[in-house]
């Protein structure tokens, strides 16, 4: 896609793993590997083979090995990967050891659910602030956090060093909120409102759109239906796949 291209930086010493520029597709899969590894660690496993980890993460083992090789991983031939070492490696690469501060804007239906979600904390993030404009919402306590007015965004973002913002407001106000986040120094945005955000090139935006996911599924339903309706179309037995075709990475 766009940025990387610090290509070499040959002045970097060989000891510390510097900063590899991984393929987008790879970094999109690392979180899945990480989750699988945590699960394995809980079961007491100390090492995993690429085959085993790949199965747990739902990918091809060759792909997994190539992904891990990109981050100069330490596996042992004949044995596999050291689980805790690999966890540490991936967490480092993803920057999860920094326990990043996240703020959430829009405490409505969806925002309320997100604010109470335990998955944030357990996966390396701290929700440190909630914002809304609705005077009935401002002041409300959710999960130990007080909902603030969005006018306080800039001040609080600076105080808490917030780098990531989540937008859960109606579509019409999403761009305004995004602008406010950017002005407050946020450089990564996760957007739940349908629509395209325009932000400076140094800001990353990822989007989650429920309806899009459903529509993609709907397409496949449509396709499946038209296949079985066709005389030439082989029935279900025709599918020669190995994996239940998902979104690739995403990247989606």
Ligand X SMILES: NC(=O)c1ccc[n+]([C@@H]2O[C@H](COP(=O)([O-])OP(=O)(O)OC[C@H]3O[C@@H](n4cnc5c(N)ncnc54)[C@H](O)[C@@H]3O)[C@@H](O)[C@H]2O)c1
Partner DNA sequence: CGCGATTTGTGCACGCCTTCACAAGCGCCT
Partner DNA sequence: AGGCGCTTGTGAAGGCGTGCACAAATCGCG
Residues in 5-44 at the binding interface with DNA, rule: CB under 7 A = 23-26
- By a kind-dependent CB cut-off of 5 to 8 A, residue 150 interacts, out of ligand X, its own copies, DNA, none, with ligand X
* φ and ψ at residue 76, rounded to 5 degrees: -120, 120
Residue 190, strand partner residues? 166, 206
2 binding DNA? (CB under 7 A):
yes
In the bound complex, what is the minimum distance in angstroms from residue 118's beta carbon to ligand X?
7
- By a kind-dependent CB cut-off of 5 to 8 A, residue 158 interacts, out of its own copies, ligand X, DNA, none, with none
Query: Which is closer to ligand X, CB of 12 or CB of 179?
Result: 179
Structure tokens at 47: 């090492």
104 binding its own copies? (CB under 8 A):
no
Query: Which is closer to DNA, CB of 25 or CB of 94?
Result: 25
69 binding DNA? (CB under 7 A):
yes
Query: Which is closer to DNA, CB of 24 or CB of 160?
Result: 24
Q: Quick one: residue 44, left, alpha or beta (phi over 0 = left, psi -120 to 50 = alpha)? A: left
Query: Which is closer to its own copies, CB of 149 or CB of 207?
Result: 207
236 binding its own copies? (CB under 8 A):
yes
35 binding its own copies? (CB under 8 A):
yes
48 binding DNA? (CB under 7 A):
yes
Q: Which residue ranges make up the site for DNA (CB under 7 A)?
A: 2, 23-26, 48-51, 59-63, 65-66, 68-69, 73-81, 243, 248-249
């Amino acid at each position: 896609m766009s940025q990387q291209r610090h290509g070499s930086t040959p002045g970097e010493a060989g000891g510390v793993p510097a900063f590899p520029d991984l393929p987008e597709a790879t970094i999109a899969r690392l979180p899945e590997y990480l989750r699988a590894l945590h699960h394995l660690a809980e079961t007491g496993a100390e090492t995993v083979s690429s085959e085993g980890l790949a199965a747990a993460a739902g990918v091809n083992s060759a792909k997994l090995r190539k992904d891990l090789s990109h981050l100069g991983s330490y596996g042992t031939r004949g044995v596999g990967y050291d689980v805790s070492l690999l966890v540490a490696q991936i967490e480092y690469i993803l920057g999860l050891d920094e326990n990043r501060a996240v703020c959430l804007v829009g405490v409505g239906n969806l925002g309320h659910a997100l604010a109470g979600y335990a998955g944030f904390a357990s996966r390396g993030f701290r929700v440190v602030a909630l914002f809304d404009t609705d005077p009935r919402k401002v002041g409300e306590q959710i999960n130990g956090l007080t909902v603030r007015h969005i006018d306080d965004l800039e001040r609080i973002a600076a105080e808490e060093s917030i780098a990531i913002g989540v937008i859960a407001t109606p579509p019409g106000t999403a761009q305004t909120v995004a602008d406010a986040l950017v002005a407050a120094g946020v450089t990564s945005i996760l957007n739940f409102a349908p629509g395209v955000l325009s932000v400076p090139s140094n800001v990353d935006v990822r989007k989650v759109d429920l309806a899009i996911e459903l529509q993609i599924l709907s397409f496949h339903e449509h396709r499946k239906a038209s296949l079985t309706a066709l005389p030439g179309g082989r029935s279900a037995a025709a599918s020669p796949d190995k994996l239940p075709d998902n979104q690739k990475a995403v990247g989606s």
